[in-house]
Amino acid sequence: MKQTPKALVSLFVAIAFALPASAEKRPSHLDMARAAIETDIIPHIDAFKAAAHALPDAVENVCTSGSADARQALNKKFADAVVAYAGIDYLRFGPMAEKGRREQISFWPDPRGFVGRQLRLMLLDKNEKILAPGMLAKQSAAIQGLPALEILITDKDKPLGPGEAVQYRCKLAQAIAANLVRLADEVADGWEKPSGWKDKMLNPGPDNDTYRSAEESAVEVVKALLVGISLTADLQLKPQVDTKIRLTPPYQKAGLQKAFYGASVKSLNQLYNTLHLEAYLKPDLAWMKGWAVGTWRTIRSIDGAGGRAADAHRPDTPEVREVFDRMNGFRNIISNRLSVAAGLTVGFNELDGD
Amino acid sequence: MAIDRRSLLLGTLAFVGSARIGASFASEAQHDVAYVATARRGGDDYCVVLLRADGSIIREIPLSARGHDAAYHRASGRVVVFARRPGNFGVAFELGRNTPPVIFTASEGRHYYGHGSFSRDGRLLYASENDVAGRRGVIGIYDVDRSYKKIGEHPSYGIDPHEITLLADGRTIAVGNGGIDTVPDAWRAKLNIDTMQPSLAFVDAESGKLVAQHLMHGDLKSLSIRHLAQDKSGLIWFGGQWQGGPSETPQIVGSAGLDRDIKLVDAPGGGKDLRGYIGAMAVSKDGRYIAASAPKAGQVLYVDTETGKVAGRSTLKDVCGVSSDGEHDFAASSGFGVIRYETAEARVLNEHELQNIAFDNHLRRIS
């Protein structure tokens, strides 16, 4: 029988899964942390930084010309920034956690509607002082970042442009764009500068005030992965499963809900693959590797808005409920099995206390 | 999250099943139960465990979702276990009596924060609750004899009331207002970190009036006050959780009184060494020592309340539950199933490890 290339790939995958997991090279804990930082975290942060830097000019072009092309370009640049941010949304430690930067970049979820309310007040007040460089950083986190900019650029009743009536809106949009550049720069610098967070994680030891061992550095990354899976399941999928929950999806006004979900799970999948936790599994648990591949395939087969992902690899489209359940189960497997096998014990209380 | 009534009932049935053991359970419970804790069994099954003094399990009671802390009334043997934030169930049972448990739920638009306290006579139960739409904390008041029917509310004088405890005077409730706004629809997402206003409030249990309040200002404005314990002199000791940047972490354990301002413990290494996070507080039976667990750091900090200085510091991975043991010693439980007994000078007396169980945040002394 002649084998098609697709069938050969399947066969290869099947053989690969049949091999004992221990055949893989086991990365050290420091290697895990290094790979995660250098392969996933910093490239994603740099991508966000680049996307943020493109915003001020794009906003200015719309405010100067008001042309359809400029609007289209701004929408594209905004989508790029949202997608890039989705790739680092799981980073709730280090420079992102300092000075409330994460909330300032992306104030979501927003079940109380703070962003819209605060923005309305600002637009009524038209206070020029807060538009001065650096002043927006002293205002509420809700109006400092991407969700506030989203409202301004998607408002069809008062679109940004050169007109007098929207002059303050334009200035505010430019201030928000500049603020996003500042935040992205601070996060990137916080990670990448000498003695920054990257160095801190990759040089653990008794004198390190945060990471005393390589295990602690690697556990930090595993915790971030678990947090990311929880956030995606609880905030993006659960409202679709439980209709009693009223929570506006991320960046829905700009039509980016699917893009946000896709970028979130793609980034988490990459981080998971980078860690190579399965290399530590004993042969009798090697099946988990195949199960994990299937789970990621399932997670990435939906678009996060009730439909099928454009790049889905599962032949059928799973129900959101199934994806939600598998994400929760997967989180438990990572926490209780895979990380334990790799000598990375993530405590029940330290992970999610109260 | 709305409670799953079906699974809650299944949990209840399981509890009743265990109670059917009858007199032996009653007598055993009366004499042997030393601690109550919530826990996770296996991957995702939650339960209440009744433990002997040596840490071995007497009974395990399934819960439909993750529990948090227990309130205990010594004279009546009543115990109430609360759902973890933002859950909305309470499970009440009586040690030493062969009666089925009472399940009650938070009223419409409210959820529990996982903590509560009985009135001195045991007739009332107070619970820390979130008035979600009102964006304020409340102290729910429940009539114990009417199957824990809710009969009223007091304001907590802040957002996010976490641990509440009736003080030794029997008429004042101390409230740790965490200050963090959350809405169950957004699960546990923190919505107001930049504007949070934590406080330690003292509320008159009968009238609901504010007796005193310590607001966190300046460098402490991001210190979420969450867990409390009262020492023999009447001071309230609190353990906070730092919501600001890690590099700015202040000391996170301190004390205050109704008429005494906040004073922070000068712990070597500061709050940063404790990873900015205290998970539980306890006082020794003699009232002299305070224990503050720091699960992210894997440490328990012991403070001598007579001197206000650190008496000892022990390390135990993922430790969180702390409770008194004997007159001036402590028991500490971990997410890896360990119960350790140690002195306030951090000298280990004994240690016991249970398999396939993860102790949750709190360990409540019963006997």
What dihedral angle (degrees, nearest 10) is formed by the CA atoms of B240, B246, B247, B249?
0
* pLDDT digit string, tens, across residues A309-348: 999 999 999 999 999 999 999 999 999 899 999 999 888 8
Looking at the domain assignment, is residue A82 inside a domain?
A: yes
Contact B227, B176 (CB under 8 A): yes
Q: Are B205 and B173 in contact (CB under 8 A)?
A: yes
Tell me the pLDDT tens digit for each residue of B216-260: 999 999 999 999 999 999 999 999 999 998 889 999 999 999 999
A107 within domain boundaries: yes
**ipTM value for the complex:** 0.88
> How far A110 CA lies from chain B's nearest CA (Å)?
7
Across the interface, whether the CB atoms of B272 and A209 are under 8 A apart is answered: yes
**Are A174 and A209 in the same domain?**
no
pLDDT of residue B136: 98
Which residues of A fall within a CB distance of 8 Å from B320? 349, 353
Q: Looking at the DSSP assignment, which residues form a beta bridge with residue B128?
A: B139
Chain A nearest CA to B99, separation (Å): 31
Does A230 share its domain with A331?
Answer: yes
Q: Is A350 on the interface with B (CB under 8 A)?
A: yes
Residue A248 belongs to a domain: yes
**Three-class SS of residue A54?**
coil
Contact A349 B279 (CB under 8 A): yes
Q: Is B41 on the interface with A (CB under 8 A)?
A: no
Q: Does A189 lie in the same domain as A284?
A: no
More confident residue, B113 or B32: B113
Which chain A residues have a beta carbon less than 8 Å from that of B84? 354
Whole-angstrom distance, CA of residue A34 vs CA of residue A202: 7
Residues B351 and B325: beta-carbon distance below 8 Å: no
Residue A137: inside a domain: yes
Give residue B23's pLDDT: 37
How do residues B44-92 score in pLDDT, each as one tens digit? 799 999 999 999 999 998 999 999 999 999 999 999 999 999 999 999 9
Is A140 near chain B, with CB under 8 Å? yes
Nearest to B335 among A209, A245, A347 (CB): A347
CA distance A330 to chain B (A): 11
Same domain for A186 and A102, yes or no, is yes
A39 inside domain: no
For the segment A9-31, the average pLDDT, to the nearest whole number, is 61
Sole residue written with tokens 């301002």 = B261
CA nearest neighbour of B273 among B255, B254, B300, B237? B300
Q: Does B65 touch chain A (CB under 8 A)?
A: no
Residues of B in contact with A110 (CB under 8 A): 186, 191
pLDDT at A5: 44
A243 to chain B, any CB pair closer than 8 A? The answer is no
Residues 326-345 of B with CB under 8 A from A: 334-336
Q: In the structure encoding, which two tokens stand for residue B132, read together? A: 């979600």
Is residue A184 situated within a structural domain? Answer: yes
Same domain? For A26 and A83 the reply is no
> Which amino acid is located at A146 in the chain?
L
Distances (CA, A) of B77 to A206, A248, B49, B71: 47, 46, 16, 10
| Region for B80 from its dihedrals, namely left if φ exceeds 0, alpha if ψ lies in -120 to 50, beta otherwise | beta
Amino acid at B202: F
pLDDT above 80: residue B95: yes
Are the C-beta atoms of residues B37 and B331 closer than 8 Å to each other?
no
Q: Does A115 lie in the same domain as A64?
A: yes
Distance CA(B175)–CA(B242), nearest Å, equals: 18
Say if A289 falls within a structural domain: yes
Q: What is the pLDDT of residues A155-181, one digit of tens each?
A: 999 999 999 999 999 999 999 999 999
For residue A163, the tally of other CB atoms under 10 A from its CB is: 13
Judged by DSSP in three states, B32 sits in: helix
Task: Spell out the residues 6+ positions from residue A161 whose beta carbon is closer than 8 angstroms to its own.
Answer: A62, A63, A65, A66, A170
Q: Are B302 and B345 in contact (CB under 8 A)?
A: yes
Q: For residue range B307-328, list pLDDT tens digits in order.
A: 999 999 999 999 999 999 999 9
- Which B residues, 235 through 294, put their C-beta within 8 Å of a C-beta on chain A? 244-247, 272-273, 277, 279
Residue A7 to chain B, least CA–CA distance (Å): 36
More confident residue, B81 or B43: B81
Q: Is A345 in contact with A336 (CB distance < 8 Å)?
A: no
| Average pLDDT over every residue of A296-316 | 96
Give the number of other CB atoms < 10 A from CB of residue A164. 6
- Please answer whether residues B79 and B91 qualify as being in contact, where contact means their C-beta atoms are separated by less than 8 angstroms: no
Residue with tokens 């190579």: A276
B358 touches chain A (CB under 8 A): yes
Q: Are residues A222 and A308 in the same domain?
A: yes
CA gap A213, A218 in Å, rounded: 9
Contact A336 B162 (CB under 8 A): no
**A131 and A90 together in one domain:** yes
What are the pLDDT digits (tens) for B259-279? Answer: 999 999 999 999 999 999 999
Nearest chain A CA: its distance from B33 CA (Å) = 24
3-state DSSP assignment of residue A337: helix
Distance, in Å, from the CA atom of B183 to the CA atom of B111, rounded to the nearest integer, reads: 10
Q: Do residues A186 and A218 share a domain?
A: no
pTM (predicted TM-score): 0.91
Q: What percent of chain B has pLDDT over 90?
A: 87
CB contact at 8 A, B308 and B265 = yes
* Residue A5 in domain: no
Domain that holds residue A146: 45-195
Please write the tens of the pLDDT for every residue from A198-225: 999 999 999 998 999 999 999 999 999 9
B210: β partners:
B203
* Any A CB within 8 A of B194 CB: yes
A171 and A189 assigned to the same domain: yes
CA B87, B89, B94, B99 dihedral sign is negative
Mean pLDDT over each residue of chain B, to the nearest integer: 91
pLDDT value for B6: 35
Is pLDDT of B12 > 70? no
Instruction: Decide which of A167, A195, A223 is a domain's last residue.
Output: A195
Average pLDDT over residues A13-18: 42
Of B214, B362, B354, residue with least CA distance to B281: B362
Judged by DSSP in three states, A247 sits in: coil
* Domain-ending residue, one of A195, A230, A264: A195
Please answer yes or no on whether B68 and A354 come within 8 Å at the CB atom. yes
Interchain pair A239, B360: CB under 8 A = no
**Contact partners, residue B52, CB within 8 Å, separation at least 6:** B32, B33, B34, B58
Both structure tokens of A153: 């650029």
Q: Are residues A116 and A169 in the same domain?
A: yes
- Distance, C-alpha A293 to centroid of its chain: 20
Q: Please tell me whether residues A214 and A333 are part of one structural domain.
A: yes
In this predicted model, what pLDDT tens digit does every residue of A337-354 receive, in sequence order?
A: 999 999 998 888 887 778
CB within 8 Å: A247 and B194: no
Query: How many Cβ pairs closer than 8 A exist between chain A and B?
Result: 105
CB contacts, 8 Å: A329 with chain B: 43
Could you tell me if B230 and B182 are in contact, meaning their C-beta atoms sit under 8 angstroms apart? no
Number of domains in chain A: 2
pLDDT digits over B101-146, tens only? Answer: 999 999 999 999 999 999 999 999 999 999 999 999 999 999 999 9
Nearest by CB to residue B318, choosing from A247, A336, A348, is A348
Are residues B296 and A353, on separate chains, in Cβ contact within 8 Å?
yes
Task: Answer for the pair B164, B128: CB distance below 8 angstroms, yes or no.
Answer: yes
Q: Which of A134, A161, A195 is the last residue in one of the domains? A: A195
Burial class (CB in 10 A: 0-12, 13-18, 19+), A304: buried
Q: Sign of the C-alpha dihedral, residues B193, B197, B201, B203?
A: negative
Alpha carbon distance B283, B301 (integer Å): 12
CATH of the domain at A185: 1.20.1420.20
What confidence category does residue A23 fall into, taking pLDDT thresholds of 50, 70 and 90? low
Quick check: A235 contacting B, CB < 8 Å?
Answer: yes
